[in-house]
Structure 1
């Protein structure tokens, strides 16, 4: 695969509901980067598994991923707690990660020409998908803060769920993401840690913007 290394590449890793997606969107908009929430690819596969249990196999998945459009990742069904937990389980499988890996790498290194580069957020972006990214960040927040954010998000979507259920789910996903054998969630030495527990969205954006501007304006 030919890689275009002339454009900006931003890689962001984070546990669930730390705010990485919101930050990545803001950064992408400001610098005109293609934004890809890579976790949604696994959520989409989880949705396929739930909807098409009899058809669900690697051949079926390859066909689906090869025909995947970015707008498919905006399906609101992907935000449910059930799909999130299923996605975390699916992401442990090496065969599935290989399929998604190629899709992610292609978007990271070959975004449409109208963009100045790419910004990917997920679990293994900084060391597995875009190891030579110009900017690497690890976004985190304490578990109760993250659970509250996800709870509010789900309630806004009229989901019938309790905070306790969301907190339990977030803890379960953390355990799965950090401890899986294939591409676990971890902070690399060259990633800048951003703790969003006590930061507003604006403050977090400005903090990251300052880091990026300092380097690109040299």
Structure 2
């Protein structure tokens, strides 16, 4: 079974996906981290982020993998060619860069192929921006998760404070969220839109536990247990 959770930056997709995976005993695939890896690799190689061909070459050549703790379906560590980049891909620099890289059709083509191959290996909760529309259009459960701009910025600042990575300036984070929404929604390839058969969930004013329970209930109903 595939549970697809799409939505804009800062909507809480990663937190929700990880919790749903734990509750249901599924694995969790962080597709956003994969695009962040390509952005990081491109920057470190001195590649212009606007250079689609070179960014796509990186996406095809770099081996992205995830590290798990035994018994935990949620990956805790991220690697590029065996080198850990868990914290490196969560900086403000990558926040500003990832939408540019992910807008390239050839980059998306390379990573979607990897995502589908991984997703067909078992039961997965997969979050991103085009999971239910492009990557797994036949996913059994589809959710489009969002929240107000201000709520998403508040959550992202708190998350960055807790991790000690990324900007903690509310206005800067808010501006970046608005900018990324525009980039993600207006790109020609796989724009950020809700699948027609997705359940739309606005998490503003809802507890994270309520959202998690809602998705788990829908998954169990779809699975028949």
Alignment correspondent of 1:114: none
What's 1:59 paired with? 57
SS at match of 2:64: coil
Please show how residues 43-192 of structure 1 align to structure 2 within 5 Å: 43-53=36-46, 57-64=55-62, 67-71=63-67, 72=78, 75-111=86-122, 117-159=123-165, 161-192=168-199
CA RMSD of aligned residues (A): 1.8
Matched, 1:35 2:28: yes
Contact 2:158–2:168 at 8 Å: present in 1 too?
no
Deviates further, 205-214 or 170-179: 205-214
Structure 2 CA distance for partners of 1:58 and 1:189, relative to 1, 3 Å: closer
* Aligned partner of residue 124 in structure 2, secondary structure: strand
Is the alpha carbon distance of 1:62 and 1:209 closer, same or farther for their aligned partners in structure 2, counting shifts above 3 Å?
Answer: same
**Cα distance change of structure 1 residues 54 and 169 upon mapping to structure 2, 3 Å threshold:** closer
Query: How has the CA–CA distance of structure 1 residues 20 and 59 changed in structure 2, closer, same or farther, with 3 Å as cutoff?
Result: closer
Aligned to 1:75, the other structure's residue is in SS state coil
What's the TM-score once normalised by structure 2's chain length? 0.85
Counterparts of 2:58 and 2:172, CA distance in 1: 32
8 Å CA contact 1:47, 1:78 repeated in 2: yes
Q: State the alpha-carbon separation in 1 of the partners of residues 39 and 154 from structure 2.
A: 23
Give the corresponding residue for 1:217: 224
Please say if residues 4 and 131 of structure 2, whose CA atoms lie closer than 8 Å, have aligned partners that are also in contact.
Answer: yes
C-alpha displacement at 1:152, in angstroms? 1.1
| Matching residue of 2:9 | 16
Q: 1:118 to 1:155 in 2, by over 3 A?
A: same
1:29 is displaced (CA, Å) by: 1.1
Please report how far the alpha carbon of residue 162 of structure 1 lies from its aligned counterpart in structure 2 after TM superposition.
Answer: 1.1
Query: How many residues are matched?
Result: 204
SS at match of 1:69: strand
Deviation per CA, 1:160-180: give whole Å up to 9, x if none.
541110000000000011111
> Which aligned runs of 4 or more in structure 1 are off by greater than 6 angstroms?
none
- Could you tell me which of 200, 203, 206 is aligned with 2:207? 200
Deviation at 1:57, TM superposition (A): 4.7
Label 1:57 to 1:91 Cα distance change in 2 as closer, same or farther (>3 A): closer
